[in-house]
Amino acid sequence: MLKALTLYATDRIVRTTSSLNRGSGVHPEGLTLKGIGHHILPNYISPLFHQAIVEADSVLFEDIYAKVVKLEFLIVLLLTAFRPKDRIRMQSLLNKADKELLLDIICRFDDEQKSLYERYQKVLADTQ
């Protein structure tokens, strides 16, 4: 299953990445580990970000514990930004997502104007 790697920005991660092979490092967007880019999601931005990290799976990667965000949360996080590149990513991810879980997350974290749901409907319409 396709998932997004999300790392906590701790002192240990920064120290560990500096000791990895070439192609690794810390950047404003996140971390690069052995040539693979990873985004860091701070969990204090919104309840959605926080819950995505709380429900994420823990994995061990190169002696670093990381949280892997569930695909459905990743899609809803992309709905919040809703940039053209996010819409393209969502179109390729939607067929792999659990639609019932996705709608549940959208309903839990949507605003009063139903912005996330409307954006989700636009992405669905663009995919067909």
Q: Contact 78/84 with Cβ under 8 angstroms?
A: no
Higher-confidence residue of 5 and 51: namely 51
- Cα–Cα distance for residue pair 33/2, rounded to 1 Å: 18
- Cα–Cα distance for residue pair 95/5, rounded to 1 Å: 20
- Cα–Cα distance for residue pair 43/53, rounded to 1 Å: 7
- pLDDT of amino acid 41: 58
- pLDDT of amino acid 50: 85
Tell me the domain boundaries of the chain: 4-69, 72-127
> Which tens digits make up the pLDDT trace of 13-56?
443 334 444 455 655 556 676 676 666 656 567 889 889 888 98
- pLDDT of amino acid 31: 65
Per the prediction, the chain carries an average pLDDT of: 76
> Which tens digits make up the pLDDT trace of 8-22?
333 334 433 344 444
- Cα–Cα distance for residue pair 99/86, rounded to 1 Å: 18
Q: Provide the whole-model pTM.
A: 0.69
- How much of the chain, in percent, has pLDDT values that exceed 90? 38
In what helix (H) or strand (E) does residue 91 lie, and over which residues does it extend?
helix 84-93
- pLDDT of amino acid 43: 56
pLDDT higher than 60, residue 106: yes
Polymer length of the chain: 128
pLDDT higher than 80, residue 122: yes
